[in-house]
Amino acid sequence: MKTVEGGVCAAKGFTASGIHCGIRKSRTKRDLALIFSEKPASCAAVYTTNLVKGAPLEVTKSHISDGIAQAVICNSGNANTCNSDGIEVAEKMCDLLANELMIKASDVVVASTGVIGQKMDITPIKNGIPRLVSELSPYGNENAAEGIMTTDTVKKELAVSFEIDGKSCTIGGMAKGSGMIHPNMATMLVFITTDAAISPKMLKKALSTDIANTFNMVSVDGDTSTNDMVTVLANGMAGNRLIDSDGPDFDAFMQALNTITVSLCRMIAGDGEGASKLLECKVTGAADKQTAKTVAKSVICSSLLKAAMFGADANWGRVLCAIGYSGADVDVNKIDVAFRSNQGTIEVCKNGAGVDFSEEKAKDILLQKEIDILVELNSGKEEATAWGCDLTYDYVKINGDYRT
């Protein structure tokens, strides 16, 4: 498996585009994105667990009930959520795009991100779709990745090539997500494309299995949004034998998918609103998988720990505190904690108690951009990883006037 260029356009048969159509006030920011497969593709998606769901999610869920899609349209700047005509607007987006692409409206995935509860005018989208389609390109991945950004500071995309059944396959993805990010499913939109041939049933199984250990293990601020969705399209143009059951081919696909999702998780967490550091909590030695996941998520979600990481303060007591209220059944007298970065590793807790350590070395380690929080439970062989970021002054600044 190797990294390749192209993001969502890296796989055979996929093109993309991104334009500014007028949803967002700033003309320098793209606000409408499109991904298109020249052939109908197997499609699977997972959605936010929030009871309040954006209209595009409801429309997409209906459209891909047959497991097939051919295009994805996504706007930024307006979430199209809590609007009386939200479903109508989302369906209209699909109709307009389908007419321009000459495909079925029911084969369009639609997504929106931005302000919740703001009435959405279809006019700029209607006027922008002809240009959006005309600018489709096998090199349009970066424009599309930019078109779905809101408070993101960087584009998030990746692609890898891998082999199935002796055929070279490619999988690529792009994501947006910076704030309102918390398991299960965060305020993220993730679009993944692949030319591997896989049935809708197995694609759904792959995605549902993967997100339990990837996107559902990311937290920036503890808020679960209304428009979160991860979608995968597989058009089969690599020519491999159809993956329609478990086995080595499915395992190879899962590994490639996981490579993309883990990388996007790290990008999303590292670009959390106002964040200056990516935090990765790795829990080992758990009695069972659920315990490991519960502990990892609790640590990464602790506002006190996140603030300590911002200040490069090795306040390991906040790690134990987060484990203690997590609800996980652990023996606190067996827990070891260490901090690690490219400046080294330092042990700060052994068997649930503090150990002597150099505060200067700890600070050097915690001043880095990427920090690992290592928790050893010494109670078994299971492990889990969660991703998050530090909590900074800028988070409040960004969200204090997000709407205005």
Active site residues: 187
| Number of helical (H) and strand (E) elements in the chain, helices listed first | 11, 15
Rounded Cα distance between 130 and 20, Å, is: 12
Q: Across the strands, what pairs with 75? A: 32, 112
Output the CA–CA distances (angstroms, integers) from residue 275 to 9, 94, 113, 302, 393, in the order listed.
Answer: 29, 35, 20, 15, 9
Burial 277-298 (b: 16+ CB within 10 A, else e): bbbbbbbbbbbeeebbbbbbbb
DSSP letter at 226 equals S
Residue with tokens 């994105």: 33
Question: What is the Cα–Cα distance from 40 to 52, expressed in whole angstroms?
Answer: 30
Q: Which helix (H) or strand (E) holds 248?
A: helix 248-270
Strands 189-194 and 167-176: antiparallel
Q: Are 384 and 323 in contact (CB under 8 A)?
A: no
In three-state secondary structure terms, 48 is coil
CB 190 within 8 A of CB 216: no
